[in-house]
């Protein structure tokens, strides 16, 4: 690490050393806006040098020019058009900068090419980068949340390092719906390795016209990211540091010991058991604890981030070097839910001549996650904190004969040295012990980058050839040691007798993997303007090859469990051995082209075509073809609009095209065999006709700028249909015991309306902006396969005419209030077992019997509406930004609610059960407390909740000392202090821990937490 710092220092010395090689003459002046107000902090640089300065609070500057260099000044300021002015021997140069106002001449990066925003005809959103600068999060995907209409970004959980889900215009397939990412021209399926502060621009390609140039990988949309580069002129150093805390929020109130014992006593009395109620007697025990397990589990989390960048250069060579560290310790005790990431990035661009340009980008990233069960999955740390009875303490008394310093935690309720315990308090796990013994470490080292060269041909440089080679190299290492702990319940194999019941016997799972993707693409781009005619054409080819391999092993029964012995060779070598390894590869070859024609800046048409050949498909369908066409009409350029001065831009767009999806298994089309002894056995019938999933999308859009584009509106309506979706089709048993064959069969359609509206006012000292977006979505399965009419999940059903993964179950009508109501409602049932106080379900077919025929669709887990709202304001040195984000019309199956409010086992419950039914008319929503089934064992609408929410995702207030520093000669451009808050409040009716989740079933998700951060940003 020290060597890297030394390299940085040498480069910085080189970068700054050239600034005093020439004799100097002074130039001074004032930079103002159109209203005559002086602009502080304007960059003033002598052209083709690193010699520069910034204006003071009144917009004044003084600069000593280098002799022998260009006697020209460049004035650059955010939100204004850059100006370059020759000095011409003058000692005074005054400038009036013109406001940019999101100029339609802005160039939008589309991947292989770039295009003026005014000429775009597809559904393309260029993210307003200033809105992202105040997000203090670890993942680039989190930064983009709430920024683009029709793009739904969801944190799977609040656990540090857990993945982020990105959906563009809904789910179009039953497989991978992740978009394709293009980072500095290099394709990738993951962007979690990026440092958010390194982003220069983000463009989202949503429709087929915009994304068709990426063909087989673009059916779920494309996100194009360019990272920051050095610029000619003054060298700069940027340091940013913040530190903060996180606190859990929105926890339900659970029963204390007195309430719990009363409720258990009531449940026993309602269960019809004979004999004396044991809970009545236990209420007088003196060894009952009063543990708040949620308070014991959650603590204050911490995060910190530090990043450093240096950039600069001349017109010939530009460079940027950056490094960053991010660390987060989550909100669960014992620090086994941490995440750390180190980033290093550098890029260099060299103009070897006025025609020949070369460049290189390199990113190194190392991320390490201490993984904890975060979705209620085994071992369910958070889930057990809810269900464990409060009567059990966290730790055993040191005087207890079963106490151990290595494992001081309680386990089985009131466990005795003779192995007995009291099961009436439910033998759930101790969540604090689970957190303590969690030891699952996962790491990823990534090398990502590219080198490129571009040469301009023809006398006027209108034809450019570019070649690019990219590398995406990943090394993974996952290691989980499962330490044995807990009380001995008498179970386990003979050699494991006497061990605790958790992780019996101890074991180690370890695997390592590597994956490399090499991309080589070549493009030839021609751009020509002839009078009123603009022609832009591009042809190209691309070759991508991917290879991955992994190796892993498992051992158990380790005699020594200290960290230095947690390696495969120290485990048992006689029984229960497992070793494994595998490898896979795929290749994609593509030819593509694109052409745009614009007449008189009014009428524009763009066509794209891509042909892909993938090794993932059968020999009969290696190739897939993906065309698109789009057109635009710049209505505001027509003569009849000249007198409509309040409309500064008005454009109508329309597009249609086809995209593909090749994100399937590598050898899905092949027939598989295995050898068992001397016998060769068929595992799966192949499908040589397997082909691409194909997405056809139509889009119509309107862009409208008002009041010199201070107000800007974009509206898009789309229809998207994906056909040939892959399905696993089981064959009849007479064929044999074989795995399902993969076939192209299903269709899914999505449609929606997307609206973005922004207003920015930079006039005067007080500046402010509002940027809002909203997107609707309707998802529906069109067809499956005749032999697969539906797909049933744990609580879902997917079939034509309904959304993907629709919630399916019984419909709750209320609570049975008396026996007469039961007899009437269940008139077709002989001696019904239901009792007053049980859940009443709707009899859909009216036969007086509640069975599977009475199940219906009870919820849609696909949001019908998503939205975001950015607010920003600035006054002199103060600035304020806020981001609101939310979804509407989404349902989730709250299994945690089922466990803590309705379950008939002696778990702990929330205080909501204090309002449960206890006599006719007392409740029509929460059934009676009992240890027998009260209807809560059925999948039903009672557990389906509206997970719509509005959340204040980010609020930041800062103060910049730029105006004060311009008066000094310290070489500091700006110091900004800021305080930031995340997830400050959430408006929702959802009773689970967090309404924002990717899971259809919420089993106790690791919640997102409130965060409060303090930071400083220094620029030299």
Asked whether residue 35 is domain-assigned, the answer is: yes
Beta pairing, strands 222-227 & 180-183: parallel
Residue 629 lies in a domain: no
124 and 64 together in one domain: no
The verdict on residue 146 lying in a domain is: yes
Do residues 79 and 144 both lie within one domain?
no
pLDDT digits (tens, 9 = 90+) for 261-290: 999 999 999 999 988 999 999 999 999 999
Same domain? 167 vs 186: yes
d(CA 225, CA 105): 19
Run of H or E including 421? none
CB half-sphere exposure, 817, CA atoms < 13 A:
8
CB distance 229 to 285 below 8 Å: no
Kindly state whether residues 79 and 190 are assigned to the same domain: no
How many structural domains is the chain composed of? 2
Is 136 a member of any domain? yes
Is pLDDT of 921 > 50?
yes
Confidence (pLDDT) at 537: 94
Distance CA 902, CA 263 (A): 12
Q: Given a cut of 60, is residue 682 above it in pLDDT?
A: yes
Q: Are residues 149 and 133 in the same domain?
A: yes
* Rounded CA separation 928/935 (Å): 10
Please report which confidence band the pLDDT of residue 104 belongs to, taking 50, 70 and 90 as the band edges.
low
Lowest mean pLDDT among 398-402, 573-577, 753-757: 573-577
Domain ranges, residue 174? 103-231
To the nearest whole number, what is the mean pLDDT of the chain? Answer: 90
Residue 111 sits at φ, ψ, to 5 deg, of 120, -100
Q: Which of these three, 231, 256, 290, is where a domain ends?
A: 231
What are the Cα distances from residue 839, in Å, to 810, 917, 929, 944? 11, 10, 11, 15
Among 324, 320, 220, 295, smallest CA distance to 725 is for 220
Q: Say whether pLDDT at 769 is over 70.
A: yes
Q: Are 218 and 301 in contact (CB under 8 A)?
A: no
Q: Is 639 helix (H, G, I), strand (E, B) or coil?
A: helix
Pairwise CA distance, residues 176 & 178, whole Å: 6
The answer to the question of residue 121 being in a domain is: yes
17 has pLDDT over 70: no
Domain boundary, last residue among 46, 67, 100: 100
227 and 107 both lie in a single domain: yes
Q: In this structure, is residue 1009 part of a structural domain?
A: no
- The pLDDT of residue 13 is 40
Among candidate residues 866, 708, 857, the one with its CA nearest the CA of residue 144: 866
223 and 111, same structural domain? yes
Residue 88 and residue 115 in one domain = no
Contact yes or no for 513/505 (Cβ under 8 A)? no
The CATH number of whichever domain residue 35 belongs to comes to 2.60.40.1120
| pLDDT of 631 higher than 90 | yes
Q: How many whole angstroms separate alpha carbon 189 and alpha carbon 843? A: 47
Q: Quickly state the pLDDT bin for 928 (edges 50, 70, 90).
A: very high
Tokens of 961: 């000392």
Are the C-beta atoms of 27 and 63 separated by less than 8 Å?
yes
Within 10 angstroms of residue 639's Cβ, the number of other Cβ atoms is: 6
Residue 845: CB atoms within 10 A of its CB come to 10
Domain boundary among 44, 79, 100: 100
The CA–CA distances, whole Å, from 586 to 583, 609, 661, 684, 1008 equal 11, 23, 14, 20, 38
CA triple 961-962-964, angle to 5 deg: 70
- Whether residues 128 and 191 share a domain: the answer is yes
Q: How confident is residue 100, by pLDDT bands cut at 50, 70 and 90?
A: low
Q: Which of 51-55, 762-766, 885-889 has the highest mean pLDDT?
A: 885-889
Which stretches does DSSP call E strand in 778-896? 778-783, 791-792, 796-798, 806-809, 812-815, 839-841, 856-859, 865-875, 878-888, 891-894
Q: Same domain, yes or no, for 115 and 189?
A: yes
Q: Would 421 be classed as within a structural domain?
A: no
In this structure, are 135 and 199 located in the same domain? Answer: yes
Q: In angstroms, what is the C-alpha Rg of the chain?
A: 32
My answer on whether 223 and 111 are in the same domain is yes
| CATH code, domain with 126 | 2.170.130.10
Residue 171 lies in a domain: yes
| pLDDT over 90 (residue 988) | yes
Residue 18, beta-bridge partner list: none
């Amino acid at each position: 690490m020290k060597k890297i710092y030394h390299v940085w220092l040498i480069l910085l010395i080189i970068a700054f050393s050239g600034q005093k090689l020439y004799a100097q003459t002074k130039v001074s002046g004032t930079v103002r806006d159109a209203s005559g107000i002086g602009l502080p902090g304007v960059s003033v640089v002598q052209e083709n040098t690193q010699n520069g300065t910034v204006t003071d609070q009144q917009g004044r500057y003084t600069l000593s020019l280098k002799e022998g260099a260009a006697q020209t000044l460049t004035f650059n300021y955010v939100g204004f058009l850059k100006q370059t002015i020759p000095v011409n021997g003058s000692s005074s140069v005054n400038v009036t900068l013109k406001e940019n106002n999101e100029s339609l001449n802005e160039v939008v990066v589309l991947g292989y090419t770039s295009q003026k925003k005014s000429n775009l005809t597809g559904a393309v959103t260029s993210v307003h980068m200033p809105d992202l600068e105040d997000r203090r999060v670890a993942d680039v995907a989190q930064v983009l949340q709430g920024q683009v209409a029709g793009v739904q970004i969801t944190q799977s959980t609040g656990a540090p390092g857990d993945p982020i889900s990105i959906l563009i215009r809904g789910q179009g397939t039953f497989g991978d719906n992740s978009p394709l990412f293009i980072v500095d021209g290099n394709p990738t399926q993951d962007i979690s390795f990026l440092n958010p502060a390194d982003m220069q621009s983000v463009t989202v390609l949503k429709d087929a016209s915009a994304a068709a140039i990426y063909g087989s990988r673009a059916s779920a949309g494309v996100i194009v990211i360019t990272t920051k580069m050095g610029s000619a002129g003054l060298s700069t150093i940027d340091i940013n540091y913040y530190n903060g805390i996180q606190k859990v929020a929105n926890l339900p109130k659970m029963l204390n010991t007195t309430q719990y014992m009363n409720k258990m006593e009531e449940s026993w009395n309602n269960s019809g058991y004979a004999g004396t109620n044991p809970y009545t007697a236990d209420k007088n025990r003196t060894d009952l604890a009063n543990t708040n397990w949620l308070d014991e589990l959650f603590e204050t989390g911490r995060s910190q981030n530090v990043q450093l960048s240096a950039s600069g250069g001349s017109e010939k060579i530009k460079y940027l070097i950056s490094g960053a560290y991010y660390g987060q310790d989550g909100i669960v005790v014992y620090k086994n839910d941490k995440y750390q990431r180190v980033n290093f990035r550098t890029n260099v661009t060299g103009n070897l001549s006025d025609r020949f340009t070369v460049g290189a980008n390199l990113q190194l990233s190392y991320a390490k996650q201490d993984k904890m069960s975060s979705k209620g999955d085994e071992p369910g740390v958070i889930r057990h904190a809810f269900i464990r009875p409060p009567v059990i303490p966290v730790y055993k008394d040191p005087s207890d004969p079963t106490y151990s310093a290595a494992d001081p935690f309680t386990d089985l309720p009131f466990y005795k040295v003779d192995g007995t315990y009291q099961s009436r308090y439910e033998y759930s796990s101790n969540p604090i012990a689970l957190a303590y013994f969690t030891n699952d470490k996962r790491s990823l080292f990534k090398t990502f980058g590219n080198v490129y060269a571009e040469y301009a041909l023809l006398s006027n440089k209108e034809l450019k050839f570019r070649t690019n080679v990219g590398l995406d190299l990943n090394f993974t290492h996952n290691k989980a040691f499962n330490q044995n702990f807990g009380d001995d319940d008498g179970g386990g194999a003979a050699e494991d007798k006497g061990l605790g019941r958790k992780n019996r016997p101890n074991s180690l799972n370890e695997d390592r993997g590597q994956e490399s993707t090499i991309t080589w693409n070549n493009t030839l781009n021609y751009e020509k303007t002839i009078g009123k005619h603009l022609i832009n054409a591009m042809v190209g080819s691309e070759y991508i090859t991917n290879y991955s391999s992994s190796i892993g092993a498992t051992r158990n029964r380790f005699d020594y469990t200290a960290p230095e012995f947690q390696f495969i060779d120290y485990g048992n070598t006689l029984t229960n051995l497992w070793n494994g390894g595998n490898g896979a590869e795929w290749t994609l070859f593509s030819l593509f082209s694109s052409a745009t024609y614009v007449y008189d800046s009014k009428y524009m048409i763009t066509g794209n075509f891509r042909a892909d050949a993938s090794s993932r498909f059968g020999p009969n369908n290696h190739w897939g073809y993906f065309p698109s066409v789009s057109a635009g009409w710049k209505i505001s350029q027509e003569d009849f609009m000249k007198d409509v001065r309040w409309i500064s831009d008005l454009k109508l767009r329309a597009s249609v095209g086809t995209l593909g999806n090749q994100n399937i298994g590598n050898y899905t089309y092949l027939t598989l065999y295995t050898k068992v002894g001397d016998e060769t056995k068929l595992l799966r019938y192949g499908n040589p006709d397997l082909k691409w999933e194909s997405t056809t999308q139509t889009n119509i859009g309107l862009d409208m700028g008002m009041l010199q584009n201070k107000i800007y509106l974009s509206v898009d309506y789309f229809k998207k249909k994906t056909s040939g979706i892959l399905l696993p089709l089981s064959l009849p048993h007479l064929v044999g015991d074989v795995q399902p064959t993969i076939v192209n069969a299903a269709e899914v359609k999505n449609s929606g309306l997307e609206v973005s509206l922004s207003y920015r006012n930079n006039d005067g000292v007080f500046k402010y902006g509002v940027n809002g977006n909203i997107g609707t979505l309707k998802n529906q399965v069109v067809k499956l396969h005749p032999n697969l009419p539906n797909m049933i999940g744990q609580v879902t059903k997917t079939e034509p005419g309904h959304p993907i993964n629709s919630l399916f179950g019984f419909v709750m009508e209320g609570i049975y209030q008396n026996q007469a109501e039961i007899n009437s409602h269940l008139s077709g049932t002989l001696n019904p077992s239901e009792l007053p106080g049980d859940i009443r379900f709707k009899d859909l077919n009216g036969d007086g019997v509640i069975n599977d025929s009475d199940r219906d669709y009870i919820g849609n887990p696909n949001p019908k509406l998503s939205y975001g709202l950015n607010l920003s304001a600035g006054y002199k040195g103060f600035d304020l930004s806020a981001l609101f984000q939310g979804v509407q019309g989404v349902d989730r199956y709250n299994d945690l609610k089922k466990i803590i409010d309705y379950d008939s086992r002696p778990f702990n419950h929330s205080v909501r059960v204090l309002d449960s039914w206890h006599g006719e008319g007392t409740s029509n929503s929460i059934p009676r407390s009992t240890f027998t089934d009260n209807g809560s064992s059925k999948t039903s609408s009672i557990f389906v909740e509206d997970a719509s929410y509005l959340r204040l995702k980010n609020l930041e207030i800062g103060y910049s000392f730029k105006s004060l520093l311009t008066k000094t000669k310290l070489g500091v451009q700006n110091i900004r202090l800021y305080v930031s808050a995340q997830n400050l409040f959430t408006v929702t009716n959802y009773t689970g821990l967090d309404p924002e989740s990717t899971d259809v079933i919420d089993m106790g998700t690791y919640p997102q937490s409130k965060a409060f951060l303090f930071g400083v940003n220094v620029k030299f």
